[in-house]
Chain A
Amino acid sequence: MSDSTPQGAPGSVTEPGAPAPPEAERPRPQGEGMSERALGRAFLTPAFVVMGLLALFPIVYAAYESLFDFDFFTRTDFVGLANYVDQLTSPRFWSAVFVTIAFTVVSVTLEFIVGMIFALIMNAAFKGRNVTRAVILLPWVVPTVIAGQMWRYLFEQRPGYINEWLGLGAIDWLGSGASMFWAVVIADWWKTAPFVGLLLLAGLQTIPNEVYEAARVDGATWTQRFRNVTLPLLTPSIVVALLFRSVDALRIFDLADIMTNARLETLSVLAQRSIVRAPQPDIANTLAVLTFVMIMGIGLIFIAMMGRDVVGEPEEGS
């Protein structure tokens, strides 16, 4: 992981198309300012320092501390990987992994379907499209905490808004594992489908109208046009939307914490609880590392699968 900072650029990967590299040759009088290369390094440094110090270092530190036992907040014995063995053999940990993954699969699927509908609506040309776009944006703009409190009270038994409106009797939605899970899924669905819709809308707007005209002239029905024109051309946006959403869903904390008072234990809820609600630093550090490895791992797989769609070709340089 040698980053860009020190020596110049042995075999640098910069734009091949750039007009001859003049910075070394052209005599630079004193006081003309930094060269572009020096400026580049200077500009990158703060970002690297902040991310290194505040994101990378803490996780490395957590990994180090996870090798020790703790007596409250005091480090005691070096125990090697014993904390990991504890977690990886704990049903509670695996239950959190299962809940997190199940939540991700279910909620992202639902959000994708509704998000696609939203995107198609927002992309259609009709009077009042701007109002519609704004309305669809609303759930996304409200803090997750507020969405969580809203849906918590909508689901709660007393006075039982959803139960009464839908004539469901006295279902204790937030009381047990399965219904609690679905309540959180529904809240997340409501909150995040608009975001998926926006990402897909961006992709829809890049599809030229002529393609549809041509398909229509050839007599393709709406369904055929959707399946054979829209979907293939939209694939990059779909992949991006699924990546962003999946990684985000894997990190779910807010809704589970608020709607179920942390009883629906996802990985984030479990890790947060073990340092804040009931401090056990050995467990917390271990969970921090395990969560990090798992989510970064899944994220990396996604990015490797679709990297080119997002970052472009390596040699493009832009």
Chain B
Amino acid sequence: MAATADTGPAPPQAAPQKAGGLRNDPRVQMGGQLLGLAVVFAWCIFPFLWMVMVSFQGTVALRDANIFGGPFTTGNYTRVFEEGFMWNLGNSIFVALSTTVISILVASLAAYAIARLPIAYKFTILAGTLVATVFPPVSLVPPLFVAFNALGQLNTYQAMIIPYVALTLPLSIFILTTFFATIPKEMEEAAKVDGATPFQTFVRVVVPLAAPGVFAAAILVFVYAVNEYLIAFSLASGDPNVMTVTVAIATLDRVGFEEPIGTITAASTIVSIPLIIFALAAQRWIVSGLTAGGVKG
């Protein structure tokens, strides 16, 4: 849809100029660009608008495809809160924060070693890390399900946090290595000359300098953990006290509401709004994190 946007605009002010001049008329170009932008905005935003409108519709309105038709109500939100959804939200945040802290801590150490310290097989390790980023999570589900089942660890926080850490480590290491590599070596050498041990150099000099990169990687891990569904659904969907929002939203219609679409859109809106604000605020770091992960700087 968005693809064809630019060819669409019929010249609004039909003042044909010299042959070939139309395309270069700044007003036509401007109009075309605006129309293209409008299509992009609509394509990206419209599903959200739909979601928010539907979440305020009552049972009757929900049977009609007109999203602007009333009567409107906040009943869906009330039902979502009664269902204990805020607790699910808390679970998600707890799991995501734990994952982020552990993953970033472990990954920072490894990334610094790869980027700076004299270790053997450096290239092999970095290449292996990149290969590990394509690990298919579903392959972990059967063995972990059996193992956690045997150990009585299904439906616990750790059933999610442990695999999340393992699965996010490769990408975190890869991104952080790129960031650490950009820190000027002179800083560390200066610290060394001043008598700092290698460990002190890492903690006092490198970590503060790498903070933006660490933050970028942390955001990506956090977003991954909040988004994760396959493992949460497979290993921790049995206990409502542990269930995360993704599992809750995916299974809300199985709870048996009359019109689950209302409660699902309400719950989705509650989750989306903070995430959207967060994304807007952290836009710059997200982009730089993705850039570091994707392309060698």
29 contacts between A and B (CB under 8 A): A9-B118, A33-B198, A36-B198, A39-B198, A55-B140, A59-B140, A117-B3, A134-B279, A135-B44, A137-B279, A137-B283, A139-B47, A143-B245, A144-B227, A146-B51, A148-B250, A153-B264, A199-B294, A201-B287, A202-B291, A257-B233, A272-B234, A275-B146, A276-B233, A284-B141, A289-B139, A300-B131, A300-B134, A303-B134
Residue of B nearest to A52 (CB): B166
Total contacting residues, chain A, CB less than 8 A: 125
Neighbouring B residues of A165 by C-beta, 8 Å: 65
Which of chain A's residues 103-135 have a Cβ closer than 8 Å to chain B?
Answer: 113-114, 117-118, 121, 126, 130, 132-135
Contact of A254 among B124, B229, B264, B290 (CB under 8 A): B229
Residue of B nearest to A314 (CB): B123
Query: Is B136 a contact of A12 with CB atoms below 8 Å?
Result: no
Query: Is B64 a contact of A159 with CB atoms below 8 Å?
Result: yes
Given known pairs A40-B119, A199-B294, A311-B123, the reply for A33 and B50 (CB within 8 Å) is no
Residue of A nearest to B136 (CB): A295
Query: Is B181 a contact of A318 with CB atoms below 8 Å?
Result: yes
Which of chain B's residues 238-275 have a Cβ closer than 8 Å to chain A?
Answer: 245-246, 249-250, 261, 264-265, 268, 271-272, 275
Neighbouring A residues of B190 by C-beta, 8 Å: none
Q: A4-B121, A271-B138, A288-B138 are in contact. List 20 more A-B contacts (CB 8 A).
A: A13-B124, A34-B199, A35-B198, A37-B118, A39-B117, A44-B109, A133-B283, A138-B276, A138-B279, A142-B275, A142-B276, A149-B268, A165-B65, A190-B47, A271-B142, A275-B142, A303-B131, A307-B130, A309-B296, A311-B130
Interface of A is mostly: helix
Query: Is B287 a contact of A151 with CB atoms below 8 Å?
Result: no
Shortest Cβ distance from A274 into chain B, in angstroms? 8
Task: Select the stretch in A87-95, A176-184, A236-244 that faces chain B.
Answer: A236-244
B170 at the interface (CB under 8 A from A): yes
Residue of B nearest to A251 (CB): B136
Total contacting residues, chain B, CB less than 8 A: 102
Residue of A nearest to B42 (CB): A135
In the assembled complex, the Cα of A23 lies from the Cα of B186 at a distance in Å of: 18
Query: Is A241 a contact of B142 with CB atoms below 8 Å?
Result: no
Query: Is A149 a contact of B276 with CB atoms below 8 Å?
Result: no
In the assembled complex, the Cα of A84 lies from the Cα of B63 at a distance in Å of: 48
A14 at the interface (CB under 8 A from B): yes
A268 at the interface (CB under 8 A from B): yes
Q: How many A-B residue pairs have CB under 8 A?
A: 335
* Residue positions of A touching B, CB distance < 8 A: 2-4, 8-10, 12-15, 18, 21, 23, 32-37, 39-44, 46-48, 50-51, 53-55, 58-59, 61-62, 65, 73, 113-114, 117-118, 121, 126, 130, 132-151, 153-154, 158-161, 163-165, 190, 194-195, 198-199, 201-203, 206, 236-237, 240-241, 244, 247, 250-251, 253-254, 257-258, 267-268, 271-272, 274-276, 281, 284-285, 287-289, 291-292, 295-296, 298-300, 303, 307, 309-312, 314, 317-318
Contact of B33 among A126, A145, A303 (CB under 8 A): A126
Neighbouring A residues of B125 by C-beta, 8 Å: 3-4, 44
Query: Is B166 a contact of A50 with CB atoms below 8 Å?
Result: yes
Query: Is B294 a contact of A240 with CB atoms below 8 Å?
Result: yes
In the assembled complex, the Cα of A163 lies from the Cα of B65 at a distance in Å of: 9
Neighbouring A residues of B37 by C-beta, 8 Å: 121, 132
* Residue positions of B touching A, CB distance < 8 A: 2-3, 33, 36-37, 40-41, 43-45, 47-48, 50-51, 54, 62-65, 67, 106-107, 109-110, 112-115, 117-127, 130-147, 149, 162-163, 165-167, 169-170, 173, 181, 197-200, 202, 223, 226-227, 229-230, 233-234, 245-246, 249-250, 261, 264-265, 268, 271-272, 275-276, 278-280, 283, 286-287, 290-291, 294-296
